[in-house]
Amino acid sequence: MNDKDDNRISAIMNSHTISLNTPINYSKAPKQYYHHSTKMPSLTPTPEPISTSSFIQLDNLPTEILVLIIDNLSQFELVNLSQVNKKISRLCHEKLFRNIIVDANFNIFDSNEFRTHSVTYINSSYNFKKFVKLATTSEKKHAEIERFMCLNMPENVDLYSHEIHHDLKVMFSNFHKLKELVWIIDDGLDLEILDVLPNKDILETLILNIKSNVISNEFFEDLVFKNLKNLQIFPFYTSNYLSNIIDKIVVNCADLNMLGLTKFPSIIQAIPHRQQLTYEVEFLWIPKVFRKINKSTNLANLTVLSLNDVMVTYMDAKMLTKSVTLSNLTTLHLRGVTELTDTTVSDSFLLILAPQLTSLSHLSLDIEETKTEYLPDFLLELPSLLTSLDVKIRKREETPFDTYSHSITRHNGLIKLSVELSDQEDHSLNHIPSEFYKSLAKLTKLQSLRINSSSLSDTSSGLLYLLSQLPQLTFLDVFGKQAGGMPILGLDMIHPTIFDDWFKVQHVVFIFLENNHTLKYVRINSCLFVCDYSKMIVNPNDGLNMWFDRNVKIITF
């Protein structure tokens, strides 16, 4: 076969690309979701070399200017720049080892979403193990690390292996300048590893998933972090368990700004209606723990408070008003909370807190009220200062939808809104009246919206109408059985390459774009798309889900 034959066959194959990718017995070709408008550059003669005598040599620039340049480069650009000379190499390596983020979801091609300048990402098991090994043998470089975040561990990393556990201890012992430590992966961090940090007094942020099996070990010395500004700990099982942690970690913190405490979620979720839990496991933990914290630290400057996966009573709210200066809070995060209502008392956990929250801007609320519903009254009583609201509503049959929408739209300065509507059995609602969506159209400043989806058949009402009234909307997260539109039976066939979940809902994204041209990111249930209406591009991208969550929900770390 000659070259002519090869070219002819290649042309035929290219001309039939669309038809080859068309599902069998499906009349429409899949939407081409990648843009192919880029033209190949034309061939031009090689230009004459330009004299560099008039240019400023990079290595002759003052160090201050070089540092400013380096601060705006990604880790990949820094690696290339470090090859210039020893001086620039030293500056580049200092920056490369200052801010480390372990995140298996990081993708270099998602540079618009991930912050890439002044950050070094580790997204593979090979690079993680290589980094840890390097940290154990090169103390000088890794002494420069000021921020270490472990968000999503790459696969095939066994943190329980003796070798990696030993290397982690050596690595942490080399973190002489560490100011921020975040470890939120499922495999918790041993206090034994935390204990080897050389300069605990300079640590300002500590967000940890801690292993339970080391908390009660008596041979550990107190883990004293005197200058913490941000402390978030999960999970804790009992008040004694948490008190033990507080004793080891929080001592005389003079300026704690953020406090987050999360109980162990699976304990609550595993028991129906959360009624069979023992008194020791669930009750009295807030008074006990906050008395302990008040003895060892100062909560007067607290601006962010996060309490999650717990049971509360109105007495806990009274305790919080005494322990925390609630008027200073700008962010309140209460998720997975169940209030046990005393029928003989008219006070409510929420209504006791509301008058004190005079500076609140960001509210994340998921509270199950067992007797009476106070949520709408709570939202109405708050000052209309909210810019972010993330709320789960367990709708009661006797409460009309407009009661909820009225309490939400009173905060007309909202930029981020997440509303999850369910029944009292925690089943997501799929039939929502169009009037509810219409009422939310008053929130014209919204840039991010997360909400249940109902019927998409009528553009003059419902969700599509709401989208058309939001001129600044960039992020849209829609969930529910009807979020992907009416099911197409042909797309439910099993196919190894074509019938991915995103393919079943992609056409709905185009419907959303037609109703709102400003949308850049759309997620339908678990399928996330990056959009550009001007080019009619809709690219599926599952690697951005954690980043996207931070833009549509209120997350405290």
- 364-384 pLDDT tens trace: 999 998 778 899 999 999 998
Q: In this structure, are residues 389 and 361 in contact, taking their beta carbons and an 8 Å threshold?
A: no
Q: pLDDT at position 215, please?
A: 52
Q: Which of 135-149, 472-486, 488-502, 513-527 has the lowest mean pLDDT?
A: 488-502
Q: How far apart are CA 162 and CA 172, in angstroms?
A: 16
Q: In this structure, are residues 101 and 546 in contact, taking their beta carbons and an 8 Å threshold?
A: no
Residue 528 above 90 pLDDT?
yes
Q: In this structure, are residues 91 and 63 in contact, taking their beta carbons and an 8 Å threshold?
A: yes
Which position has the higher pLDDT, 62 or 396? 396
Residue 529 above 60 pLDDT?
yes
∠ CA 377-382-386, nearest 5°, is: 125
Average pLDDT over residues 535-542: 89
Q: Is 171 helix (H, G, I), strand (E, B) or coil?
A: helix
User: Which band of pLDDT confidence, cut at 50, 70 and 90, is reported for residue 510?
Assistant: very high
- Contacts of range 397-406, beta carbons closer than 8 Å, 24 or more positions apart: 399/373, 401/432, 401/433, 401/435, 401/436, 402/435, 402/436, 402/439, 403/376, 404/375, 404/376, 404/436, 405/435, 405/436, 405/439, 405/440, 406/376, 406/380, 406/439
Q: pLDDT at position 21, please?
A: 34
Which two three-digit tokens encode residue 422? 């369910």
> Of 509, 502, 499, which Cα lies nearest the Cα of 476?
509
How long, in residues, is the chain? 557
Give the amino acid at 430: N
Q: How far apart are CA 545 and CA 104, in angstroms?
A: 12
Q: How far apart are CA 114 and CA 329, in angstroms?
A: 29
In sequence order, what are the residues at sequence separation of 6 or more whose Cβ sits closer than 8 angstroms to the Cβ of residue 174? Answer: 135, 136, 139, 142, 143, 198
**Would you call the peptide bond into 235 cis, given omega within 30 degrees of 0 as the criterion?**
yes
Q: pLDDT at position 492, please?
A: 52
Q: pLDDT at position 377, please?
A: 94
In sequence order, what are the residues at sequence separation of 6 or more whose Cβ sits closer than 8 angstroms to the Cβ of residue 78? Answer: 70, 92, 95, 96
Average pLDDT over residues 284-289: 75
- 161-182 pLDDT tens trace: 888 888 899 899 889 999 999 9
Q: How far apart are CA 326 and CA 352, in angstroms?
A: 11
Q: Which of 186-195, 259-268, 434-443 has the lowest mean pLDDT?
A: 259-268
The two beta strands, 331-339 and 311-312, are: parallel
- 185-212 pLDDT tens trace: 888 888 788 888 889 889 999 998 876 5
Q: pLDDT at position 30, please?
A: 44
Which two three-digit tokens encode residue 110? 């998602």
Average pLDDT over residues 496-508: 73
> Of 185, 263, 181, which Cα lies nearest the Cα of 228?
181
Q: pLDDT at position 303, please?
A: 95
**Strongest mean pLDDT among 313-317, 449-453, 540-544:** 449-453
Give the amino acid at 545: N
Residue 425 above 90 pLDDT?
no
**Alpha carbon of 11 to those of 5, 20, 23, 356, 442: distances in Å?**
10, 14, 22, 72, 54
Residue 156 above 70 pLDDT?
yes
Cα 298 to its chain centre, rounded Å, is 28
Q: pLDDT at position 271, please?
A: 38
Residue 485 above 60 pLDDT?
yes
Residue 76 above 60 pLDDT?
yes
Please classify residue 12 by burial: count the beta carbons closer than 10 Å to its beta carbon, then call 0-12 exposed, 13-18 middle and 19+ buried. exposed
**Strongest mean pLDDT among 207-211, 487-491, 518-522:** 518-522
- Percent of the chain exceeding pLDDT 90 equals 35
User: Which band of pLDDT confidence, cut at 50, 70 and 90, is reported for residue 279?
Assistant: very low
Quickly tell me which residue has 């292993």 as its tokens. 211
Quickly tell me which residue has 């099996």 as its tokens. 213
Q: pLDDT at position 381, please?
A: 94
**Strongest mean pLDDT among 6-15, 266-275, 477-486:** 477-486
User: Which band of pLDDT confidence, cut at 50, 70 and 90, is reported for residue 241?
Assistant: confident
User: Which band of pLDDT confidence, cut at 50, 70 and 90, is reported for residue 513?
Assistant: very high
Q: pLDDT at position 223, please?
A: 73
Residue 42 above 80 pLDDT?
no
Domain boundaries, the chain: 415-557
Q: pLDDT at position 486, please?
A: 65
Which two three-digit tokens encode residue 378? 């709570």
Q: Would you state the torsion angle of the CA atoms of residues 220, 221, 223, 224, taken in this order, to the nearest 10 degrees?
A: 170
**Strongest mean pLDDT among 4-8, 136-140, 216-220, 259-263:** 259-263
Residue 266 above 50 pLDDT?
no
Q: pLDDT at position 522, please?
A: 96
